[in-house]
Chain A
Amino acid sequence: MKNTIELTLKVWRQKISEDKGKFETYEVKDIDTSMSFLEMLDVLNEKLTLEGDEPIAFDHDCREGVCGMCGAIVNGEAHGPQKATTLCQLHMRKFKNKDTVVIEPWRAKGFPVIKDLVVDRGSFDRIIAAGGYISVKTGSAPEANNQPIKHENAELAFDAAACIGCGACVAACPNASAMLFTSAKISHLNLLPQGQLEAKERVVQMVEKMDEEGFGNCSNEYECEAACPKEISVSNIARMNREYRDAKFSV
């Protein structure tokens, strides 16, 4: 059986970074509730294109919840109302017929809007470039089990590595802080033997890059953890706080 709904969308439209931007209202009809949120936007965009209007620009790639490209604030929540879900994996059955849905881009000084719902997350790439790598001898792949790793650390590192860098943490944070992202990227390497060589440098350089990019300061409100589609834990932030202090006070 096909269930369809109609919605009123209020979407942020902004031509370019320098444009002031404003909300536009659109009515969408016949939305199949088994569509994803992005498919619903596709339907609207087709209609806009046919009518000769500019389609709404939004980021996406895998549409499988693994790449981290998609994301918007939907009715005040990063990636919409469903916990631990990216926008591409959010389905329209989460909405009721005649709902009004407000769609806004991530808002942060570190994420300038490029167009409509698309923001520039280059700041995240620059944080990674500041220390989110390891130095290894390249060559043939090493034997998988020749480097013993404590089970607990392997689990924690793996959990941190689940971060897809979508930016929902920054978007949800009342201070637009990038501590959850940065701490996940640091933890995922610093917990493993391969990350030890640059462990101290890494935390210092990545934290200072994060500050430089204009993100806010963490005030331990934990909105980030609640908004994260991969449920990255704020314990990573605690680990980063500790490692940063230790790196600064060790001679």
Chain B
Amino acid sequence: MSNLLSYFKSSIGKKQIVAVTGLMLILFIVGHLAGNLIFYLGPEAFNKYAKKLSDLRPGFYVVEFGLLVVFVVHMTLTASIVLENIKSRTVNYNVKKSSNQRSLSTRLMPFTGTILIAFVVWHLLDFTFTDKHGDASVLQDGMSYGLYGVVYNAFTDPIHSGLYIIAMFSLGFHLNHGIQSFAQTFGFSSPTYTPLIKNISQWTAIVITLSFSSIPVYVLIQFLSS
């Protein structure tokens, strides 16, 4: 038992838990994206999907609670890692050059992570804990379109869409480092596969970011041209 306790306290153990929770979050993101893309099939399909999900409650609460725990674990451990790392260099260098091994994504991890958590809170207030049948759901034809309408109206505001897209780019940067970092943290490293994993990491990040961002862009284009 003390064996496991020391695992959770060790730098490698903490990193590996960050990596596992990160992987779970990626799976969640992929599922979430699949759901979002139903938006393109129109209000009926989208609202039906949203209803199906909420009909899974109360059982679904268990899954949602699990997700919350994963988020909290990922965040608290990364926060503690970042703080420890700051403390491990008591005096900073006067001049420090990077050898360019650190990608932008790598440097930005704590920042993109913080943007993501702020985004999650905003996003939940925006689309989850909101009245899905009130004024916000009414489109130009004067009819309520449920959650579809809420999302559509939100994205007709360029600032709203812009913030959403910024958050999705943060997610992209986070994943670009995160996926390949997961492999290293778990101990997969090989001259053949590591470059491949880095490519996969980058392309997954790009596809996920652009797919999520496409929805506000689609709404804006449609709205502005109508």
Contacts and interface: CB of A to CB of B under 8 A. Distances in A.
B6 A208 contact: yes
A193 interface: no
B interface SS class: helix
A215 to B, nearest CB: 6
B52 interface: no
B86 to A, nearest CB: 8
A235 B92 contact: no
Contacts of A235: 189-191, 194
Contact of A218 (B7, B15, B91, B95): B15
Interface residues of A, number: 51
Interface in B189-209: 189-191, 194
Contacts of A189: none
A126 interface: no
Q: How large is the interface on B (under 10, 10 to 19, 20 to 34, 35 or more residues)?
A: 35 or more
Contact of A221 (B9, B88, B106): B106
A181 interface: no
A239 B187 contact: yes
A238 B188 contact: yes
A217 B110 CA distance: 14
Interface in B90-135: 90-102, 106-107, 109
A242 B99 contact: no
Interface in B50-91: 81, 84-85, 87-91
A108 interface: yes
Contact of B89 (A208, A210, A216, A238): A216
Contact of A77 (B6, B16, B97, B191): B97
Contacts of B98: 223
Given A107-B93, A248-B3, A216 B189 contact: no
Interface string A216-241: 11111111011100000011011111
A222 B102 contact: yes
Contact of A227 (B13, B99, B184, B194): B99
A2 B190 CA distance: 47
B85 A75 contact: no
A239 B190 CA distance: 10
A225 B101 contact: yes
A107 B6 contact: no
A209 to B, nearest CB: 11
Contacts of B188: 238, 242
Interface in B170-194: 177, 180-181, 183-191, 194
A55 interface: no
Given A217-B81, A219-B81, A108 B14 contact: no
B11 A217 contact: yes
A104 B106 CA distance: 25
A27 B7 CA distance: 52
7 contacts: A76-B93, A76-B96, A107-B92, A172-B99, A177-B88, A238-B184, A248-B6
**What are the 8 closest A-B residue pairs judged by CB atoms, nearest first?**
A242-B187, A238-B189, A76-B97, A216-B88, A226-B99, A175-B85, A76-B95, A216-B85
Interface of B: 3-4, 6-7, 9-16, 81, 84-85, 87-102, 106-107, 109, 177, 180-181, 183-191, 194
Given A238-B189, A244-B13, 4 more contacts: A221-B106, A222-B102, A223-B99, A237-B189
